[in-house]
Amino acid sequence: MKVSTRVEYGLIALTDIAINCEDGRTVSSADIAQRQNISQKYLEQIIMGLRQGGFVRGHKGSRGGYMLSRPASKIYLSEILNALDNSILADVHDEFDQEEGDKGDIRSSVNTCLWDKLNGYMRTFTGQLTLADLINEYKGSSGEEKNYMYYI
């Protein structure tokens, strides 16, 4: 499955904001861009979409930046995907002209049997996965909460 950079960077930015604003601080787009190696100009366009989607809110001023508008455990991946690219979880397939006798053709069967079910699974899966799950995965895989024992 291919996902646009807009969606990928949007998920990265939201996760970065969530991790770095846990103590109530705001996170600037410049800091996110630097940490994640993303163009700040492009990132600001993506964050605008995240603001319109109700995921982040901005604060102006010398310590301005962004913070989550609601807890990470209440932000579902399906919401984020729909806000950044509403075609990913869309319940549509290739529309084509069907003649009266083509209703049982192979393309229709493939769409029904495979793509419609796959889209349904994706909607169900992303509807259960939250931003908090992404944060927990990051913290678990980055070693932040792991204790290592070193032997000499």
Query: How high is the pLDDT of residue 152?
Result: 56
Quote the tokens at residue 109.
Answer: 């069967």
Q: Which residues of 33-52 are buried (b: 16+ CB within 10 A; e: fewer)?
A: beeeebeeeebeebbebbee
Q: List Cβ<8 Å contacts ≥24 apart for 137-141.
A: 138/15, 138/19, 139/19
CA angle 31–33–37, rounded 5-degree value: 125
Mean of per-residue pLDDT scores for the chain: 84
The CATH number of 5-89+131-142 is 1.10.10.10
Query: How high is the pLDDT of residue 93?
Result: 52
Domain boundaries of the chain, sorted by first residue: 5-89+131-142
Q: What is the pLDDT of residues 86-140, one digit of tens each?
A: 887 776 554 444 444 455 688 888 888 888 888 889 899 999 999 999 999 998 8
Angle between helices 5-20 and 77-84 (to 10 degrees): 130
